[in-house]
Structure 1
Amino acid sequence: MTLFFYVFGVFYVVPKFFGIFGQTVYFLVGTAIAYNIFGNLIACYKTVSSVDTLPPEMMVPQEGEEHLWHFCEVCQKTVPPRSWHCKVCRVCILKRDHHCNFVGNCVGYNNQRYFMWFSFWAAFGSGLAFYHNIKYANRNDIYFLDMLSMNVVLYYEFMKPGTYDLGLQFGVRFVLGFNLFAIAFPAFLFLTQIYTIRRNAVMHNTSDRTYDLGIYRNFSEVLGRRRFWTFLSPNIKSPLPHNGTQWTSKRIV
């Protein structure tokens, strides 16, 4: 639906409300948002966080860290701390957060940055789309609460055929309803990511504070050296602080 919202908003709805300058600005902003949505989505899908990405010499624990590694019965190999097996990917994932069917990949150490920004831009872009979609609906005398009153429209249309354009009524309500879902779902994912990264935890165990080293270091381990500059583009290179096998923990009092 991202492509639909982009095309519908930029080329159909916006020209009804703005002049050339406003259309140009909206086109540039909308294109930048769509680029970040699809760019981060593709990067999250293509970036692998499996332990198989590590060279053989890194698949051996450092002296004194042997107790932190564990043996995976499925892979039949010893894997680094915070690495867990994914039944879908059929491999152990470095700092496995969760498997996301939406992006078709496991979210882990190497691609969590892309998933976080994908969910943010998807929610933000859907929010902007909702703004112009609700303006379009209002112009057609359809208001926010009218999404719940389609039965009233059908009643009047049954009693007096031709009162409403049913195609327009159904279409606008469907777009607004799906638009709300397109805001809520990625917004929930983004807030969940912020919460877990803030604690340096993972989605399947958000209460774990073992690796919580403070906001700055926690986000640096996900976003890399350039940190929040990665917000601007998925193509910004931002090397991560380590290879995903050695994790600094704190003593929990």
Structure 2
Amino acid sequence: MENTVESLRLRAKMDSPDQRGGVSMPKRIVKRIKPWADTIAVSMNVSMTLFFYFFDVFYVMPQFLGIFGQAVHFVVSTWIAYNILGNLRACTRTLNSVDTLPPEVLKPAEGEESLWHYCDPCQRTVPPRSWHCKTCSTCILKRDHHCNFVGNCVGHNNQRYFMWFSFYAMIGSALALYDNLLYAHKHGFEFVNLFTMHYLLFVEYLHPGTFDLLWEILIRFILTMNVFAIVFPGVLFISQLVVVRNNSVMYKTADCTYDLGIWNNFGQVLGRRRFWTCLSPDIKSPLSHNGTQWESKGTV
């Protein structure tokens, strides 16, 4: 028995994503920095969403649209903002810890002992595809990665919310960029002007008063944040599509061990209602299992 536990410990150290690729930061430093990073990143997400929503809906677009157009824009923007914030909240609050499982399932079923592995920090065996997160200080069911921008580990129970959060953040930012480019163009500012900040400052230095410097800097800042808010969640969303397509995790994207076909793969992440969950984070869509028993190609 002792040899079995020791072999599980050794395999966990070799396979754990936290043990790959170089020297990790000391635990006491990680614990001090990460919670602040989570709080700042989540606050930035909420602040940017609310800023672009109110700025574009109530200030920018009334300058271009009539009553009917404003109403349509308001409905679409509100639905997108609701999905961004709703999925962010659900992703942040949904727990993926192995500790959330009832005691009776915290041990392998007969014949599945070899699939479980030993976690040194938790001092116990944990289900397959579960790995320890130093930030959360616990093992996470099907741990994909720890994301500061949602302040939580992305795993078995909340991957659905993370995927739709990144999707709507990308779509909402693209709509905001279009609105803000219309506004900037109306005032003689083109997209290419984003790359001429040095020229603006140089001319203003030589000939003070040539530009409304505060407005020029502000519009550049807004458009730059718009571009960042499209690219970053866009990359996250595309990476999630690849991960879910292969039924893998972010640190082993190309691993197809658990690939059961695209329909079943998305079903394991999105739940019974699958793509209907795109409409709202409040749609109930039970997952197919509790995160301890994973079918693989070899068992199907």
Tell me the alpha carbon deviations over residues 71-102 of structure 1, each in whole angstroms, 9 at most, x when there is no partner: 11110111110000000101100000000111
Aligned to 2:278: 231
| Aligned equivalent of 2:176 | 129
Partner of 1:177: 224
The answer for the alignment partner of 1:146 in structure 2 is 193
Partner of 1:9: 56
TM-score using structure 1 length:
0.97
Q: What is aligned with 1:115?
A: 162
Q: Secondary structure at the match of 1:60?
A: coil
Choose 152-161 or 194-203, whichever is displaced more.
152-161
**Distance in structure 2 (CA, Å) of the matches to 1:101 and 1:174:** 23
Q: Map residues 67-216 of structure 1 onto 2, 5 A cutoff.
A: 67-216=114-263
Distance 2:245 2:284 in 1: 22
Give the match for residue 222 of structure 1: 269
Q: TM-score, normalised by structure 2?
A: 0.82
Q: CA deviation at 1:167?
A: 1.1
Structure 2, unpaired ranges of 5+: 1-47
CA distance in 1, matches of 2:287, 2:296: 17
- Percent sequence identity over aligned pairs: 63
State the 1:104 CA deviation: 0.8
Q: Which amino acid aligns with 2:238?
A: L
C-alpha RMSD over aligned residues = 1.1
- Match status 1:53 vs 2:100: yes
Q: Distance in 1 between matches of 2:54 and 2:189?
A: 21
What are the ranges of 5 or more consecutive residues in structure 1 without an aligned counterpart?
A: none
Give the Cα separation in 2 of the matches to 1:158 and 1:94: 57
Distance 1:101 1:160 in 2: 44
**Distance (whole Å) between structure 2 residues aligned to residue 249 and residue 48 of structure 1:** 24
Give, as a single letter, the amino acid of the residue that structure 2 aligns with 1:36.
Answer: N
SS in 2 for 1:178: helix
Distance 2:258 2:108 in 1: 18
SS in 2 for 1:37: helix
Q: Distance in 1 between matches of 2:96 and 2:119?
A: 16
Q: Give 4+ residue runs of structure 1 displaced > 3 Å after superposition.
A: none
